Amino acid sequence: MKLDQAKQEFIQSWGILGSQWGINRTMAQIHALLLVAPDALSADDVMEQLQISRGNANMNIRELISWQLVQKILKPGERKEFFVAEKDIWMVAMRIIAQRKKREFDPLLETVTSLQEIEGDGKNQADIKAFTETMKNIERFAKKGDKALNGLLTANENWFTGTLLSLFK
């Protein structure tokens, strides 16, 4: 397989994976392109290589920057902005986990915590009890998940992989 074909296959696969995780497919494809690019690329380079519009490229690059997966760099003598992806896959995974936790998990935990204090009219006490018990159970589980995610986010790659691999010996 030639390099260009391999890059295209990777970009398509990363895009599919991203969409399965609930991330915009184009955003994931731009990330993949920048991951495998040996040098920083401009928005024009991204547009050309992925055959996407300027607006689509700019919007998704900005989102990748907000996720801290891509950074903007300036090249001396160039007026264009260039972009480079974080190449350390451990860091990429940790940043994705941190963003997903912040955007999805933390609001869930906040919601189930706030929904435990409800008032009833005296007629639906069994329903209220069942609801609040369910919210408490979800909160208990979510807090354990939150603690595990926080531990993972602060874990050292060598410790994590060493610990994980020791489970399969």
Q: Residue 168: what pLDDT?
A: 66
Query: In residues, how long is the chain?
Result: 169
pTM for this predicted structure: 0.79
What the block records as the tokens of 161 is 């992989």
DSSP bridge pairs for 72: 83
- Annotation: CATH topology of 3-85: Arc Repressor Mutant, subunit A (1.10.10)
Q: Cα(1)–Cα(156) distance, rounded to whole angstroms?
A: 35
pLDDT digits (tens, 9 = 90+) for 41-99: 999 999 999 999 999 999 999 999 999 999 999 999 999 999 999 999 989 988 988 99
Query: What are the distances in angstroms from CA 35 to CA 29, 51, 59, 66, 70?
Result: 10, 18, 18, 16, 9
- 115-157 residue pLDDT tens: 888 777 667 788 888 888 999 999 999 999 888 888 888 877 6
Predicted pLDDT at 129: 85
- What residue spans define the domains of the chain? 3-85, 89-166
For the stretch 14-46, pLDDT in tens is: 999 988 877 899 999 999 999 999 999 999 999
Q: Please determine, for residue 163, whether its predicted confidence score (pLDDT) is greater than 80.
A: no
| 3-state SS, residue 73 | strand
Average the pLDDT over 2-25 and give the result. 91
Grouping H, G, I as helix, E, B as strand and the rest as coil, residue 122 is: coil
Q: What pLDDT, on a 0 to 100 scale, did the predictor assign at position 167?
A: 65
